[in-house]
Amino acid sequence: MYGPTYLPRKFKIAFAFPGDNCTDIYGNDIGIVPLFRDSRPDRFVLMVGGGMGKSHGKPDTFPRLADPFATVSADDLLAVVEAIVGIQRDFGERHDRKHARLKYLVEYWGLGDFRRAVERRLGHRLASAEPVDWETSEDHLGWHAQPDGRWFYGLPIENGRISDTPRVALRSGIRAVVERLGVGVHLTPSQSLLLVDVPVDRRREVETVLGGHGIPTPEAVPVVIRRSMACVALPTCGLALTDAERALPRVIRRLHRALDQLGVADDAPTVRMSGCPNGCSRPYNAEIGLVGRRAGRYDVHVGGSHLGTRLNSVLAENVPEEELVEVLVPALTRWRDHRLPGERFGDFWSRDRR
């Protein structure tokens, strides 16, 4: 399919199980949700045109959530995906890198024209996207049964960094579990790690090895840390304007203390920090997004959905790292005082602004 030209830029495809948006499919060029009949994937709902990046000071660049696009049969799935990718290959922007993602093609053509272009390539009409309901986007932390009788263990990795420190031998502990038990390792889109294929009678051994290396159980990690992530930013990324992975541990612990004082630590929002507006940690649909502006300063976004289905908006710009929590506390206090039972911070903020 690439031919001599490849695609204009990267192209992301995510699958999500119905009800479970832990892969954040609306932030991808194509999102695919299987619908089941008799326990087998029978048809697929496709979303198109998602992407997170934007540039400061360039309003013609923007984050965008994927639109529900079509429901397709299992037999037709590959052909439809191929048609979509082919349209991006042939019509995607190639001169201006900042507009080279599928989301701009979908936005500028409109979903109707985009659909007709896909249908022309396929030679038949597409059925509308069936509605998809989401119940959670939580990572699968702790113990979960696999269909084959074995188990997997989800381990939160703060900002995705696996290394040994004087207090927690995270890298050595994971290595020890993998070497001793021969388990598999999966990485999640929210920077957690799944140790898979654990026999039921060896679960205790996994806990003992991890605990022996000082690695806390998921339950022992504050909720706001479990639900947060940062991109690598400085010093690893050449595009970074400021820190993210190195700054968020400070910010998130201050935020945890503030949430604890407000009495809402167990309902903590999702928090994502990026070192520049490219948004690799997907800050724009988080309940709280912190986007690097320049050295030590961030734009504060609030009001995204914890399910990944709504973009947030700017609360404050160019905020020094030390003042980020201070800026957020009034909004969090208002949520604490006026939320509906069980209402998440992002949902409250969105409702309250209407």
Judged by CB under 6 A, which of 78, 187, 200, 239 binds ligand SF4? 239
Matching residue, tokens 């799935």: 77
User: Quick one: angle between helices 324-338 and 248-262, nearest 10?
Assistant: 30
Indicate the residue among 61 and 274 with the shorter CB distance to ligand SF4.
274
Degrees, nearest 5: CA angle 262-332-349:
145
Q: Provide the minimum distance between the beta carbon of 158 and ligand SF4 in the complex, in angstroms, as a whole number.
A: 16
Neighbours of 340 (CB within 10 A): 9
| Phi-psi domain of 24 (left: phi exceeds 0; alpha: psi -120 through 50; beta: other) | left
- Residues written for the chain: 354
Among 72-80, 183-191, 225-233, 328-336, the segment contacting ligand SF4 (CB under 6 A):
225-233
Asked whether position 240 contacts ligand SF4 by CB under 6 A, the answer is yes
Q: Is residue 235 reached through a cis peptide bond, with omega within 30 degrees of 0 on the bond before it?
A: yes
Q: Provide the minimum distance between the beta carbon of 24 and ligand SF4 in the complex, in angstroms, as a whole number.
A: 15
Neighbours of 165 (CB within 10 A): 10
Element (DSSP H or E) covering residue 42: strand 40-48
Indicate the residue among 100 and 240 with the shorter CB distance to ligand SF4.
240
Q: Provide the minimum distance between the beta carbon of 232 and ligand SF4 in the complex, in angstroms, as a whole number.
A: 5
- From residue 245 to residue 284, what is the string marking binding to ligand SF4 with x (rule CB under 6 A)? -----------------------------xxx-xxx----
Q: Are strands 271-274 and 288-294 parallel, antiparallel or unpaired?
A: parallel
Is 288 in contact with 274 (CB distance < 8 Å)?
no
Residue 240, token pair as written in the block: 């970074």
Q: Provide the minimum distance between the beta carbon of 328 and ligand SF4 in the complex, in angstroms, as a whole number.
A: 20
Asked whether position 231 contacts ligand SF4 by CB under 6 A, the answer is yes
- From residue 126 to residue 145, what is the string marking binding to ligand SF4 with x (rule CB under 6 A)? --------------------
Asked whether position 23 contacts ligand SF4 by CB under 6 A, the answer is no
Indicate the residue among 169 and 244 with the shorter CB distance to ligand SF4.
244
Q: Provide the minimum distance between the beta carbon of 239 and ligand SF4 in the complex, in angstroms, as a whole number.
A: 4
Interface ranges with ligand SF4 (CB under 6 A)? 231-233, 237, 239-240, 244, 274-276, 278-280
